[in-house]
Amino acid sequence: MLENIKKLRQLILRLSGKDGGKKALPKRYRRLQRYIMLLMLAVTLIPLTLMAVTNSMQYQKNIKAERIKPIRAIAGKAAHSFELFLEERLSAIHFIASSYSFEILSGQATLHRIFRILREEYGGYVDLGLINNNGTKIAYTGPYDLLNKNYSGQQWFHEVRVRGAYISDVFMGYRDLPHIAMAVQNLTDENNSWILRATMDTHKFEELISPMGLDPITDTFIVNSKGVLQTNSRLYGNVLEKCSLEIPYGESGTHVKELIDPDDRDIVMVYSRLIKHDFTLVMILPQDRVFQPWHSLKQEMSYMFFISVIVIFLVIYSSTLLLVKRIREADEKREVAFRELEYTQKLSSIGRLAAGVAHEINNPLAIINEKAGLLKDLVDHDMHQDKTRLMKAVSPILSSVDRCRNITHRLLGFARRIGVQYEMLDVNEVLKDTLGFLEKEAHHRSLDVQLQFDEQLPKISSDRGQLQQVFLNILTNAFAAVKNGGRIVLSSWQKDDLTVGVSIQDNGHGMDEDTMRQIFEPFFTTKKGYGTGLGLSITYGIIKKLGGEIKVDSRLEQGTTFTIFLPKTSPGDTENE
């Protein structure tokens, strides 16, 4: 038994990492603490991170929508205003062409008066000219010498004759300054046609863009379908230059895009294409200014996230430190329990050794005592001349024998207290006495305790106290396994001429095969929180020490039966026989 305890202790030390010296303890527990911390951090931080990312994306989407919506509205209104401006100017030219005949407009004075009124009322007009059906400008008012100029070979002349109206892109032309041309065709009753053509300064475009109330850092400009700037851009070129930023064409309505421009600037591009004219209004804003509220919120959320992570880490660290400390203390207590168990086994071995030594010494002591007594009787009877001297020599021998006898008696008493005290027992009586300890609990819980004893059961030679401990351990487990109103059956019978059997059966929750394989192992328990795991292990040891056997049969939700077989005679009596 002592050797088995040592092996078990070494196994537990090896599993717990305690067999590597004093330095292995801190290393093992640090590793355990690290594993627990990583697990708890993963369980807490992964959901927190997912929630933070999800909320961040949702907030970003909402804030962007709130910031982009007014900018999109401004761009759409500006494009609409620009289109109304062009339509208004074109309508003015069309009104003049409809209100006056070709002959009236051919008069230079009349055309000059009409042009003066246009400039005063609308502003931005550069010149005004009348072109006949052959493409020759027959009347002109303005700062340039363009009278009698022929336009029949130019593209715009043919477009006007086909469509009836025309608005050009911005161009330089003879005037050497950016301007646009507007032309309207009018048909006479004789099916002849003539064209009234006016040019406008593009500075009027800048005046349209400036009152939009935009941030000074916003770059607003107009491009045509070929990507040529129709107004100056603060970032991407001057008028009539190719815009260095690619503007999508062909998409009606107002659109917003986030992109990186050719100079690696993060920008927000808002563009709106005019419906009736080949122009696109473009607004460029820096992303950091547009999404500044989102960046501020993102920064605050990041601070809150990192503070939360730090707090979680500190709480987990302190909790795991306390938990590992408790585990270490439990391991140390378990080690102390093993040492005490080993010490108890050593005492038991010493007791058995003392009993053997005392038994062996008592035999020669008895012979010495008999011989010394015989010598004393002979000296007293024969009146030997050295009687006095011989009596003085025999008396110390007898005193020493008595002293040795007292010592061996004390050793035997020590051995009897540690070892087994065999006596003839009635197993039924021992079972009834043991059951008496649990009668109140059985009555309180309304348990049906049935006794099925063999009244003719012979007595056996065994230890009453240790049998009571065995029966009490098994009965306690049976009481714990059954519910209130459950059934427990105690049976006894004679197995054969040398063995009696005892069984304790309950209808409790039962055990699975894995549990049954481990129930007799030290410290294994199914009573989490209050079981020590030593009861059945001690029971198994006692039964083996008494020379018996113990078996268990159990099924989940059906119950458990412990069967004990005890020899009629003690192991010592069997050996002597």
Q: What is the DSSP string of 9-22?
A: HHHHHHHHT-TT-T
Contacts of 556 (CB under 8 A, 6+ apart): 509, 510, 511, 512
Supply the DSSP symbol for 175: G
Contacts of 387 (CB under 8 A, 6+ apart): 379, 380
According to the model, what pLDDT value does residue 451 have? 93
> Over the stretch 62-116, which tens digit does the pLDDT of each residue have?
877 777 888 888 888 888 888 888 888 889 999 998 888 888 888 888 999 999 9
Do strands 460-462 and 448-452 pair parallel, antiparallel, or not at all (unpaired)? unpaired
| Residues 328-418, CATH architecture | Orthogonal Bundle (1.10)
Residue of 437, 456, 460 whose CA lies nearest to 546: 460
Supply the DSSP symbol for 385: T
What span, in angstroms and rounded, lies between the C-alpha atoms of 329 and 335? Answer: 10
CATH among 3.30.565.10, 3.40.50.2300, 3.40.1710.10, 1.10.10.10 for 423-576? 3.30.565.10
Phi and psi torsions of 151, nearest 5° = -115, 15
According to the model, what pLDDT value does residue 532 have? 53
What span, in angstroms and rounded, lies between the C-alpha atoms of 559 and 268? Answer: 76
The single residue listed with the structure tokens 């378990």 is 334
Contact indicator for 240, 172 with CB cutoff of 8 Å: yes
What span, in angstroms and rounded, lies between the C-alpha atoms of 228 and 231? Answer: 9
Contacts of 282 (CB under 8 A, 6+ apart): 220, 221, 222, 223, 245, 247, 269, 270, 271
What span, in angstroms and rounded, lies between the C-alpha atoms of 127 and 133? Answer: 20
According to the model, what pLDDT value does residue 290 have? 77
Residue of 247, 293, 250 whose CA lies nearest to 270: 247
Class of domain 100-206: alpha beta
The tokens for 480 are 């714990």
Threshold 0.85, pTM exceeds:
no
The residues spanned by each domain of the chain are 100-206, 214-290, 328-418, 423-576
Q: Which amino acid is at 550?
A: I
Which residues lie across from 307 on neighbouring strands?
none
According to the model, what pLDDT value does residue 482 have? 93
According to the model, what pLDDT value does residue 429 have? 92
Q: Collect the ranges in the chain with pLDDT lower than 50.
A: 1-2, 5, 8, 11-12, 15-24, 343, 410, 413-415, 417-418, 575-577
The tokens for 536 are 């059945």
Q: Is 214-290 in the same CATH topology as 100-206?
A: yes
According to the model, what pLDDT value does residue 459 have? 92
CATH among 3.30.450.20, 3.40.250.10, 3.30.365.10, 3.40.50.300 for 214-290? 3.30.450.20
Ramachandran class of 264: left when φ > 0, alpha when ψ lies in -120 to 50, beta otherwise: left
